[in-house]
Every structure is written in C-alpha cells, then in structure tokens.
C-alpha cells in the first residue's frame, strides 16, 4: 500500500509540473494580498526556512553519523539527500516564475529543503508529522507571498519529496510502511 501511495505521489508531482501554470496558480497569485508587513515577514522566513536549513541539517546529520558510527544516521543522510535531489528536476520542467528570476520555478527549492528536513526528521523520530507539515506550510506560503513561486510549485515540492521520500525510506530499510510515520496521530495519549 505504501509503495502504491508513493507511486501516486510521484506521478502527481510529475503531472502537476507539466503545465506552465494552472488556473489555481493565476487565481492565488492575483487574489493574495501582499501588504508590506507580510512581505517583510515572508522574506525573513525565507532566509531561515530554505536551502540553508537543508544544508545545515545535512551537516549535523553527517557529524552525528560520523561520531556515532550509526548506520541509521547515514541512511537518514542518504534519505535527506535523495529528497533534496528532487529540486534538480526543475531543469526538466523549466517552468517560468511569477517574477523574473534566473532559475526555473517548479518545484520550489525552499519548500523542497524544508520538506526534506521535515520528512527525514519524521522518519528518524517516528513523530512530528504535524510540526513538519506546519513548517512546510509556512515556508511555502512565504515563497508565494514573495511571488517567487506559483502555488503548484509549492504543492509539487511536497508531492515530490513525500513520494520519493517514502520510496527511499523503504528502500533504505528506515521504514516498512508509511503507517509507521503517522501511527501516533491516531493513538490516544496516555498520561502517567
């Protein structure tokens, strides 16, 4: 079941990136108010929640794996690298951004970085799905506010990272099923 879900996510990621823009992209771009305070906040968020976060996370994982000689941490580093590598597909899709910029738009690199960190942390800790989702939403919304990405660039980044991440996590033996990653959401909490 998890492999089928991962395949659907990957296929959806590819299909969503094929059109240059969608009516949803145009509607969100035109309808979203962008007051100066929101732009300033989005800019600050983008400085922290983006590729810099992804690289810092990879460096910390590398140091921990090296010091502890823990194969699980090396696998987590490989998982993070594979998830992050989905951003390289932007050169295949070659979508134009809402503003003039030198890199293609789809998928959003900032969103890929945050989603990769979040996905890897959820796989390692087997918890934190809601925090990871919130971080991705904040990072993606900031990129849309700054007009650096269309809304489907952000959605596509999440689809790609999650689909590739599930396949990679299973191939690396970090999970046997996607249910492991969200099982705590359905369990009632027991307080001692």
Range 106-135 average pLDDT: 94
The closest of 57, 52, 160 to 106, measured between CA atoms, is 160
Helix, strand, coil percentages for the chain (3-state, nearest 5): 75, 0, 25
Q: Are 61 and 116 in contact (CB under 8 A)?
A: no
pLDDT at position 2 = 80
pLDDT at position 19 = 87
pTM for the full model?
0.89
């Amino acid at each position: 079941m998890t492999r089928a879900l991962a395949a659907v996510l990957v296929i959806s990621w590819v299909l969503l990136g094929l059109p240059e823009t969608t009516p949803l992209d145009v509607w969100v771009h035109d309808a979203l108010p962008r007051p100066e305070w929101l732009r300033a906040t989005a800019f600050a968020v983008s400085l922290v929640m983006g590729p810099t976060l992804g690289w810092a996370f990879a460096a910390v994982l590398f140091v921990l794996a090296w010091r502890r000689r823990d194969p699980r941490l090396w696998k987590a580093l490989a998982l993070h690298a594979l998830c992050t590598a989905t951003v390289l597909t932007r050169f295949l899709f070659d979508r134009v951004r809402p503003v003039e910029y030198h890199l293609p738009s789809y998928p959003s690199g900032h969103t890929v970085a945050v989603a990769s960190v979040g996905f890897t942390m959820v796989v390692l800790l087997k918890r934190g799905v809601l925090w990871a989702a919130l971080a991705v939403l904040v990072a993606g919304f900031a990129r849309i506010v700054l007009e650096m990405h269309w809304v489907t660039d952000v959605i596509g980044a999440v689809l790609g990272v999650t689909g590739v991440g599930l396949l990679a996590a299973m191939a690396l033996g970090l999970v046997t099923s996607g249910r492991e990653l969200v099982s705590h959401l359905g369990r009632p909490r027991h307080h001692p």
